[in-house]
Structure 1
């Protein structure tokens, strides 16, 4: 369930790989749900010095070498 989200070095942004083979590039302020601890949690993606997600008032840095499971 959900789609893989990965960092695309050529685009310098995170993208979501959709079932039809296309990519959905994410932009600052985009909202989605990320899989964490056996459930999906609403968040939004932002960029400062690095890409990070905000869940409420808490910020988490994304690791470029990781893939994450998301719902958009």
Structure 2
């Protein structure tokens, strides 16, 4: 299962498969992010900090957390 983790040196979220870096995400990139038991389509966005957008709802990402995702690339 893939996850995203924040990389402080680049100030970006990266997608990992275990310890293997798969790619860096950019503003506007689409991902399926796990919320509870479900994966929901969202877009990664940047304002004063990074957040994911689900329709009209926004959820800010915590830089020290890891989030399970299914990238859409």
Q: TM-score higher than 0.5 here?
A: yes
- Which consecutive unaligned segments of at least 5 residues does structure 1 have? none
Residue-pair matches, total:
71
1:30 and 2:46 are equivalent in the alignment: no
**Are the counterparts in 1 of residues 51 and 58 from structure 2 also a CA contact under 8 Å?**
yes
- Which consecutive unaligned segments of at least 5 residues does structure 2 have? none
Deviations 1:3-52 (A, max 9, x none): 01100001101000136823310000000100111010000000010000
In structure 1, what is the equivalent of residue 4 of structure 2?
A: 5
1:49 and 2:48 are equivalent in the alignment: yes
Distance 2:21 2:59 in 1: 26
Distance 1:13 1:60 in 2: 16
Per the alignment, in what secondary structure is the counterpart of residue 40 of structure 1? strand
- Structure having the higher strand fraction is 2
Aligned-pair Cα RMSD in Å: 1.4
